[in-house]
Chains A and B, each alone.
Chain A
Amino acid sequence: MIKTTVLADTTGESVEGIQLLLPAFYDLLFGGISFVLLLVLFWKYALPRAQQVLEKRTDAIQGGIARAQQQEQEASQLLRQYREQLADARGEAARIRTQAQAERDELVNQARTDAQVVSEQVKQQATASLAAERGRVVTDLRKEVGDLALELAGKVLGESLKDDAKAKAVIDRFITDLEKSVGKN
């Protein structure tokens, strides 16, 4: 039964093997309709749209790359700017520090000079007041010594020489000579 080429199909018609290669009109018709419909689908719809989206995607990717490159450029430019600013700032800081140091030195020197001046003044004043004091002390002492010498001489001579200007002058000269001899020693 398998080997026979004439078979009965379900409607009772007979089918020969060669008919497998002979197209039926209705199959041609529906196959043709399908083919044309699909051709139109791909021609008018699917392929143009796929192509469109492909191009858009290419654009987007290329645009993205261009944008990224631009941003990278901007970023590197910004970085350069920042670095320059940083270098400037460092220079500025160094300059300010140097200036500050100079100013500090100047201030210190000024203060030192001022202090020296003041100390000099104080010393001079002290010396002056010391000298004045000494002068006064010497005068007092001279007067005292004179009085004592007069008193002593008076006691020795038995008379008062207190108001005698001549005697006073003699005594003064004596004391001055004494001072001189003391100063020489």
Chain B
Amino acid sequence: MGAILNSDQANVIAASSSEDGFSPPSIIEFFPPKLFEFGPDFLGQPMFAMTRINIIMLIMTTFLLVFFFTALRKPQLVPSGIQNLGEVFLDFVRVQISEEVLGHHAKRFNLLLTTMFFMIFAFNITGILPLMHIAASSVVAVPLILGLTSYFVFNYAGVKQHGLKGYLQMNLFPPGVPLPLYLLVTPIEAVSTFIFRPATLTIRLVANMIAGHMLLVLFYGGANYMLLVSDSFLLKPLGAFSYVAGFAFTLFEILVAFLQAYIFTLLTAVYISGAVSEEH
């Protein structure tokens, strides 16, 4: 790329790291200023504080409450409008995730899966919503709460189904493996089932949201700088491209918001299904 840059552009890019030039997005985005804080510090944090991301969480929670309250306030046999929408969403989780993966266990876990799906989707989609522009799930606490919930639920379900001994045996000593291989299999299974599962659930979600936000800030920030701030006319087409790419990634982020909610919920269902399944 350096070969096609003329000196003008090179100067601009060099200038971008200067004080009044282009500043690329950074992880500071995910540590917005605390609006207020009180209580003694603990582990280097105040005991209680609030940021705009927390406000976004509360807004989205309120939105879900209002949406489902309105949708199912007077449920009609022949649904219309918002009720139809609410039922379609609920049915999606129940049929496509709970019943699809868990079969006759679906009823017991549908509540958890439904809550997870809608919370994750609502918190993800704020990444592209006007005024909010950051996913509420891009702070690790949210995926962590859900990942740990998933972890406890699938382990609890497995222990309840098979007893502690049976459940551990099922997971750590899968049948049909030659005896010496247990030296290898058992530690791998232990780590993958009991450590990696909640960690991957959490990190997959938070990393997707962080990356999506970074991309959007980079493209829109770049477009803004190249189109409006920079004096170089040569950067204008690149700025336009950056803007179009930002728009494309906004659409992509809608897909990602849905897909990550779906994956998280589906994997939780799969883990529960594995824990309660009779065969093994």
Contacts and interface: CB of A to CB of B under 8 A. Distances in A.
How extensive is the interface on chain B, given as a class?
35 or more
B111 A43 contact: yes
Contacts of A100: none
Given A31-B57, A41-B68, A53-B77, A26 B206 contact: no
Contacts of A37: 61, 65
7 contacts: A9-B31, A20-B206, A21-B206, A31-B57, A38-B118, A42-B115, A50-B87
B263 interface: no
Q: Is the interface of B mostly helix, strand, loop or mixed?
A: helix
Interface stretch (B142-150, B243-251, B264-272): B142-150
Interface of A: 1-2, 7-11, 13, 15, 17, 19-35, 37-39, 41-43, 45-47, 49-50, 52-53, 56-57, 60
Contact of A27 (B17, B75, B142): B142
Residue of A7, A23, A45 ringed by the most chain B CB atoms within 10 A = A23
Nearest to A2: B24
Contact of B31 (A19, A41, A42, A45): A19
Contacts of A29: 48, 54
Interface stretch (B39-47, B160-168, B172-180): B39-47
Contacts of B187: none
Contacts of B210: 20
Nearest to A11: B33
B217 to A, nearest CB: 13
A20 B27 contact: yes
A38 to B, nearest CB: 5
B204 interface: no
